[in-house]
Amino acid sequence: MIGERCPTALARNLNDGDAKGLPELLCLHARRDHFGAIDPQKRFWGAWVEKGGRGEMKEVAGKEHNHISTIYGVGSGDDEVEQWLVDVLGWCLDGDA
């Protein structure tokens, strides 16, 4: 049931050209969003455009806006992310970074 009602399934089930009459969409992702968020967005966007959907899908500009998951950041090898995690942990434990 959930799979039938997710945005990608709804877009895929539109008749060809049906999305042309719908509002334009703006789909955003951040530079460090996990592929588990970006890949489904790309699948949705492909289905949306295929059915005549309009709008834009883009990465949010700016180094400060990210949806970093601490689980995926640990051991990532990205020094900036790992330092951010250490700072957050220090803030949680000590009240300062």
What was the pLDDT predicted at 97? 47
pLDDT at 33 over 90: no
Q: What is the DSSP string of 22-62?
A: SPPEEEEE-TT--HHHHHHHHHHHHHHHHTT--EEEEEPP-
- pLDDT tens for each residue of 38-97: 899 999 999 999 999 999 999 887 666 666 666 667 777 888 878 888 888 888 888 654
Contact 24, 55 (CB under 8 A): yes
Instruction: Report helix, strand and coil shares of the chain as percent, to nearest 5.
Output: 50, 10, 40
Whether this model's pTM surpasses 0.85:
no
